[in-house]
Structure 1
Amino acid sequence: MTSPTPPPTAAPLTPVDLFLLGRTLMKIGEDALPAPRVRADGTDRHPGGVRSVLVTLSDVVAHPDSAIGEIARRTGLPQSQVSTAVARLKETGSVETSQDPTDRRRLLVRAADTPSPRVTEVRAAGIEEALARALATTDEQVVTQVTEALALLARYLPPTVVVRPGS
């Protein structure tokens, strides 16, 4: 593979460009995640997409002791996807649930006090190989430059930054 050649002068980003970049980054992130655990019969223990799980977990970390419905409202995910994501996260030990003392029908969700083995594994994973595949390059200098640019963006736009429509 060769180094990708960026356009000589880039036009200003549009909202659509930014949205599409976000989707591309999500796909690269999914590719960089360590393979999910499998059952003894070789099937995935957690079939389905990772996005709803990651979106749910990031919301739970930012808003501990939230009910499923509150998480669904904030994330825009259907309540059924949030419930499934919470069940998966609970099974891996990433989150804990408790009954809401004011309404026994509701579960409150919070991040586990101690990171689960899966969370530790995911946090230790690198992005370089997935980034090189997405960039279609083996040029380590290009991968390093893009990795550094992404690290800069992550410092300025951490997951805790809340963007409200129209703000």
Structure 2
Amino acid sequence: MPNAPIDHAAALAMWADYRAAHPTIATDAEEPPAERFGDHPELTDELLGLVLDGTKRATATLVAEFEAEGQALPRVGSHWIACDSTGAPRVILRSIELRVGPFTSVDAAFAYDEGEDDRSLESWRENHARYWRRAAAAIGIEWTEQHEVVFERFSVVWPPEAARVESASSATT
């Protein structure tokens, strides 16, 4: 079963609320993309749950996925809206660190910050290779370890209760 379509009207309303509350930070030239983690409902909601509880503060995406969707690569300071499997926007994320490199260039610190599985580099490589084989096939390419990956660290900035979890988890690490 696939994820439900994203509720773009609700995502834009969330963005408008954030911009009204933080006009000096929400300065993106265009409305941020509304996206989701994962490629099926269980994975989407599991990964979003890790964001909401403060565990997941990084993500990785194939450059080819951005190209297939006609999207520009993120930049430091840009925002995006993470949605759940029902298509509802749940949080606004702000990119705080970006690096592009091959799959093989990931390090243990990044794997830990992604917060998935046991947070080890080994499990990161295994799970992401499996995921990107599916994602690449979905856009008509064959995945290899040499594909370029966008390694992104982010902070949760909206809604306020989610941003408070961010502040609390930062204070304890």
TM range (shorter): 0.3 to 0.5
More strand by share: 2
| TM-score, L = length of structure 2 | 0.33
| TM-score, L = length of structure 1 | 0.34
More helix by share: 1
Structure with bigger gyration radius: 1
